[in-house]
Structure 1
Amino acid sequence: MEYRTLGASGLKVSTLSFGAGTFGGSGPLFSAWGSTDANEARRLVDICLEAGITLFDTADVYSAGASEEILGQAVRGMRDAVTISTKLGLPMGDGPADWGASRSRLIRSVEAALRRLGTDYIDLLQLHAFDASTPLEETFSALDGLVKAGKVRYVGASNFAGWELMKSIAVSERHSYVRPVAHQVYYSLAGRDYEWELMPLGADQKVGALVWSPLAWGRLTGKIRRGQPLPETSRLHETASFGPPVDDEKLFDIVDALDEISAETGKSVPQISMNWLLNRPTVTSVIIGARNEPQLRENLGAIGWTLSAQQIEKLDKVSAVAAPYPYFPYRRQEGFARLNPPLV
């Protein structure tokens, strides 16, 4: 396992991390992800640690807190060996105090997360979404206080637009508050929008990307094929509307290219998809999920080898999508590119 420094921090995290969204399995979305109980979770955590995975990611909204509870039980007695990341800010109820990133909500939500996780500190706390109703000065003042109180070690964001993240960084620096070092983002061969603005921002501001859904909500598992119906076991039957849309023909072209590379390397379609991500600029860690041991061991095969330059070029080409103004085509023209060379 390789370990990388997370953004502008000293925190070292494994290049593969484990997402605990399958723990608990309640609600319309998370029941489709999985329903791992504490015993199964402990086994998966043990396998992760044996493989060198140290970062475990969850959120308060995952199965209404059950994911945090089960993760806490699974790492009991091993707290110093793991890095726990959780997220908050999305609605946990219908009341006016049940959502957002106000000072009172952050403090109350962190205390609740600590109880569920069975720990006295959170290694990485991420804002799950931008809260336009709360001044950023209030949010980052509260986060700074939580870090100074020893309840949080590092902070980050998730699913922010470029201007939202940049404004957050500016506010934190202006007031000498704790600064975001991570951005948890959607990024995959079937969804490369991250590259347009968030990747250059991450490179410039030293914010490390933690990639969620590297297999595009199960579309890059190798089970979805041109001219074939969606497998009955696919979770896309329940979750397709929750994720970013993907053009079917584009997806099938990507899978065809992955099949060709699979034949050349002996690696599976999902392993190749995740290996490609691990070599992209600003990507610190790719979050893998698993409902069972075989699935986890399959995902662990994404590391320990490299794609050739020709294979990377093939995947880059087949998955490329024309970006909107002002990112393309002007940024690719010689004059613009000389001033601002593209990262990829």
Structure 2
Amino acid sequence: MVDMKVWTGRVDAAEGEAAKRWHQAVQPLPESGAPGIAIIGFACDEGVRRNQGRVGAANGPRALRKALANLAWHPTLPLYDAGDVVCDAGNLDAAQRKLGLLVTQAAQAGHLPLVLGGGHETAYGHWLGLADAHPGKRIGIVNFDAHFDLRHADEATSGTPFAQIAADCAARSQHFRYLCLGVAETANTQALFDTARELGAEWRLDTEMTGWQLADIRGQLAEFLDSVDAVYLTIDLDVLPAAQMPAVSAPAGYGVDITVVETLVGRLAKSGKLIGADLVEFNPEYDIDSHGAKAAARLAWSLSRHLRR
């Protein structure tokens, strides 16, 4: 069930059709319709709880919709809302499988899934859906994140999704292609760096993600894009500095400036290879005067602005 009541905002009726905002452009995802952007919420922070983080990201999808609702709509692709997946009784595996099914259905209908998390456990469900929808394609993962999220654990958490994806790639006889941008050495143990090397992952540290290094970053991103058929983009909002994004489980003491992240997100959106994107870890309980919500909405807006089919 899609709750459209959250999509409300300013109406500039006197300025006509060209003055629309997101709340006027979005509609429930139809059974058949022109290919567009399909927003799917993953109202879950069970993985964050298991990872000993600050819970509250389950309320992220609704808060992010509210932040998006009043933004100016510059037509690119049709905009749809496919509703939320909820994690019932802590059953994370079932919730991830349900998310995967919705992502597969949206992708097979020609839409680009835009998933609003939820903790970063969102990524495994999103991956399952994209991998099933695009069999045989070499899918590369670009993750803006202070953390590798390659932990080994007895159960799935918000810190394990890319280790799970690596295992899933092995089961599918696919190569694990993973680029993590914004890694904080202070937040990742040597064991995690060792795991990243063993899996053939690529990364850039947060200290190597400044504006003056943008040309080098673009070059690395271009090489990665050339090596894959399709790209799954995931943005863990804790990659941003705490001053720009206070509303996460683990605010960054250093972080990557939003101007750098937005520039690279635009490059990915215009690549023609993007098949799915998500924003995760937004926790409205720790937001300050909607600073975090506005920053996250800006990134989602920028992504949509550059999409073409």
TM-score range, shorter chain: 0.3 to 0.5
Flag the structure with larger Rg. Answer: 1
What TM-score do you get using the length of structure 1 for normalisation? 0.33
What TM-score do you get using the length of structure 2 for normalisation? 0.36
Between the two structures, name the one with larger relative contact order (CA 8 Å, sep ≥ 6).
Answer: 2
